[in-house]
Amino acid sequence: MSIAADKVVSIEYTLTDDDGEVLDTSVGEEPLIYLHGADNIVPGLEQALEGKGTGDELDVVIEPADGYGDYEAELISNVDREMFEGVDELEVGMEFEAEAPDGESQIVVVRAIDGDEVTIDANHPLAGVRLHFKVKVVDLRDATEEELLHGHPHGDDDHEH
């Protein structure tokens, strides 16, 4: 069986940047399980895994456009401190969930605080970063109808929405 759309894939991976710094890994933990073709992982990694099978190992370099996107300066904005009502100790680096212009939920990070002016950044933390994945395909199976309907794999203990 090969990795293709509508397959549930389990991978072990280590993600590093251009300097070799480990950004994330599943080694020593549970593998990452995703539904291939459902945009569960970054596009460049999904494309690189297409056609692979259980036991295959690969090293993949993914440019920002096929990863978490390019860093976009227009996603940085200044808002009034009042937007953080109920937050007593606002600090640089804090993350908040906010509503994006399209109505979806997005994470913003506080980048600077100058009096009542707060600079926030809605870029993904890995936007603009070239990604280096070392991947091993651990398991592969057909997705269930329910998984296809929901757009993601379900674990052994079932899943509630």
Q: Which two tokens stand for residue 25?
A: 């890994």
Q: How many whole angstroms separate alpha carbon 120 and alpha carbon 110?
A: 5
Domain with CATH 3.10.50.40 in the chain: 7-68+126-150
73-121 folds as Thrombin, subunit H (2.40.10)
Domain with CATH 2.40.10.330 in the chain: 73-121
Express each pLDDT in 29-38 by its tens digit.
Answer: 999 999 999 9
Above 60 in pLDDT, residue 144? Answer: yes
The answer to whether 98 and 75 have CB atoms below 8 angstroms apart is no
Label the pairing between strands 7-16 and 32-35: antiparallel
Give me the CATH code for the 7-68+126-150 domain, please.
Answer: 3.10.50.40
Q: How many whole angstroms separate alpha carbon 33 and alpha carbon 11?
A: 6
Confidence of residue 6 (pLDDT cuts 50, 70, 90): very high
The answer to whether 51 and 3 have CB atoms below 8 angstroms apart is yes
Side-chain half-sphere CA neighbours of 65 within 13 A? 0
Write down the pLDDT at residue 101: 79
